[in-house]
Amino acid sequence: MSHKITARLAGLVLLLAAVASHAELRIEITRGVSEAVPITIVPFAFEDEGAPDVDVAAVIEADLAFSGRFEPMERRDMVSRPTRPDEVRLEDWRLLDTDIVVIGRVKPAAAGRYEIEFHVFDVFRGQSLMAYNLPVSSDNLRGAAHRIADMIFEKLTGVPGIFSTRIAYVTVERDDGASRYRLWLSDADGARAGVIAESAQPIMSPTWSPDGRRIAYVSFETGVSRIFVQELATGRRVAVSSAPGINGAPAWSPDGTRLALVLGGVDGNLDIHVLTLSGRKLDRLTRHPAIDTEPAWSPDGRSLYFTSDRAGGPQVYRVTLDGASPRRVTFEGSYNARPRVSPDGEQLAMVHRVRENYRIAIMDLRRGGLRVLTDGQQDESPSFAPNGSMIIFATRERGRGVLAAVSSDGRVRQRIAGTEGDVREPVWSPYAR
């Protein structure tokens, strides 16, 4: 009896602790947002006939908000809606506590083309920061809006924006025992999604070529795993690895000439290999009876991080391409897997188990120390944005896989809208070129 009460009390204490830590989390997020720069994106004028199919200012606004670095003003709070520089009265905007004002116009140009003129003002210094005329084809207003958001982001933060980049991800739909696996591409915000490969058998582990023109992935379409490289512009694809047993976890080298991948062979011993794409030269990099998988290149192309359970549970190791023996990298916790290296090579994102929960954690490779960035139960597949500022990952919401993003400092978390079905394995593209 008294045991029961003690247990209940303990439960209550735990519950309170949970509430408290949740509250702290909220405060953190709120503090994060209040550190964000207040910005106003005034709706852009549309000077052609009819209405545009894309609200350019709204797309810019959503992009900048998504970064967590900016807090856009609600439209209903705007005192006026200038669209030309001579209509901007900075003293009015000062009263509204907004630091930056962006205005613009979409103007008709040659047939099938527009020009977007936009201006960025620093309200408190009273100066124009940018004035730009961006030519665009009339069916790509959304792409132009992402481009403008990138330009504004870089001007104000000094870091290139990632709003024109894309993501690839996999969905599965199950219906009466039949499955459809689909590989998708979309804008980084989830818009303009399209299927690039589809199969009744699993599709896994998409990875971008560094020039953003090709994607490698694993497909089980013939009943066994094979690795394909698909050219995005043409849809043409080639099976680059069809060895007996497992062919998995492709990762493109930073110079684009090689694929790191995992082969299992007839005996099912997974080891890391490096395939040189021209000439198909294959080098075996690890040689261990444990599972070695999920290779990720360091940005200098000289080493690979990978998951191995050679010490029992999965941990991250690093191996250099000269064949030296692998060194263990992670020691915190009993489960660290699927490493991904930040673009500057200084941080490692991974799946980290906290009690029963699988979460995204980040590790500083110089100083060590692991930081858990997410709070889900089954968060997986972290992938860095090409500027390193954010990590996209898959999480579960009401029993369904969805995409989310977290800033690399853990301050801002976002759900990515617009993706349907059971979604997994998001991978962020390189910069658009």
Site residues for other proteins per CB under 8 A? 172, 174, 179, 202, 204-205, 220, 223-225, 245-246, 248-249, 262, 264, 266-268, 270, 291, 293-294, 307, 309, 314, 335, 337-338, 351, 353, 358, 377-378, 380-381, 396, 399, 424-425
CB 248 → other proteins: shortest distance, Å? 5
The CA dihedral of 385, 62, 161, 151, to the nearest 10 degrees, is 170
CB 75 within 8 A of CB 58: no
Residue 167 vs 291, nearer CB to other proteins: 291
Residue 190 vs 248, nearer CB to other proteins: 248
CB 275 → other proteins: shortest distance, Å? 16
CB 224 → other proteins: shortest distance, Å? 6
Residue 59 vs 337, nearer CB to other proteins: 337
Residue 98 vs 286, nearer CB to other proteins: 286
Burial status of residue 371 (CB atoms within 10 A of its CB: 0-12, 13-18, 19 or more): middle
Residue 53 vs 176, nearer CB to other proteins: 176
Select from 187, 129, 124, 189 the least CA-distant residue to 157: 129
CB 99 → other proteins: shortest distance, Å? 41
Residue 73 vs 406, nearer CB to other proteins: 406
What are the angstrom distances between the C-alpha of 22 and each of 19, 121, 278? Answer: 5, 38, 52
CB 268 → other proteins: shortest distance, Å? 4
Retrieve residue 268's tokens: 């099912």
d(CA 105, CA 118): 6
- Report phi then psi at 113, rounded to 5: -135, 150
Helices within 96-229 (DSSP H only): 141-157
CB 202 within 8 A of CB 209: no
Residue 96 vs 354, nearer CB to other proteins: 354
Residue 35 vs 397, nearer CB to other proteins: 397
CA angle 41, 42, 48 (to 5 degrees): 120
d(CA 211, CA 159): 20
Paired residues of 9 in beta bridges? none
Select from 309, 405, 422 the least CA-distant residue to 63: 405
Retrieve residue 272's tokens: 């890391």
CA angle 244, 340, 305 (to 5 degrees): 60
**Three-state DSSP class for 101?**
strand
CB 98 → other proteins: shortest distance, Å? 43
CB 376 → other proteins: shortest distance, Å? 11
Residue 93 vs 305, nearer CB to other proteins: 305
CB 340 → other proteins: shortest distance, Å? 11
Residue 98 vs 225, nearer CB to other proteins: 225
Residues 6+ apart with CB under 8 A from 26: none
CB 22 → other proteins: shortest distance, Å? 21
CB 363 → other proteins: shortest distance, Å? 16
CB 243 within 8 A of CB 263: yes
Strands 70-72 and 37-41, how do they pair?
parallel
Place of tokens 């958001």: 149
CB 220 within 8 A of CB 199: yes
